Amino acid sequence: MRETRTPLIGSLNSNGKETRRAHKSRSWFKYFQYEEGRDSTTDARNVLLVVATLIAAVAFQSGVNPPGGVWQDDSNGHVPGRAIYASQIQAYYVFLISNTVALSASILVIISLTYRFPFQFEIMMATISMLVTYGAAIFAVTPFESIQFWYVLLAAALPFVLRGLIHGFYRFSVYIMFGNNVGGHDNDDV
Window from 114-123, 153-162, 175-184 with minimum mean pLDDT? 175-184
Higher pLDDT, 47 or 29: 47
Q: Which residues contact 101 (CB under 8 A, 6 or more apart)?
A: 155, 156, 158, 159
Residue 100 has pLDDT above 90, yes or no: yes
Please state at what angle helix 41-64 crosses helix 120-141, rounded to 10 degrees: 30
Residue 147 has pLDDT above 70, yes or no: no
pLDDT at 26: 64
Please state at what angle helix 89-113 crosses helix 41-64, rounded to 10 degrees: 150
pLDDT at 163: 93
pLDDT at 186: 52
Q: What is the pLDDT of residues 72-98, one digit of tens each?
A: 988 888 888 888 888 888 898 899 999
Higher pLDDT, 155 or 22: 155
Residue 16 vs residues 10, 12, 81, 151: alpha-carbon distances, Å: 12, 5, 61, 58
Q: Flag whether 160 is in a domain.
A: yes
What mean pLDDT is predicted for residues 138-151? 79
Domains in the chain, number: 1
Q: Flag whether 155 is in a domain.
A: yes
Q: Flag whether 67 is in a domain.
A: yes
Q: Flag whether 19 is in a domain.
A: no
Q: Tell me the residue range of the domain where 48 lies.
A: 40-178
Residue 1 has pLDDT above 90, yes or no: no
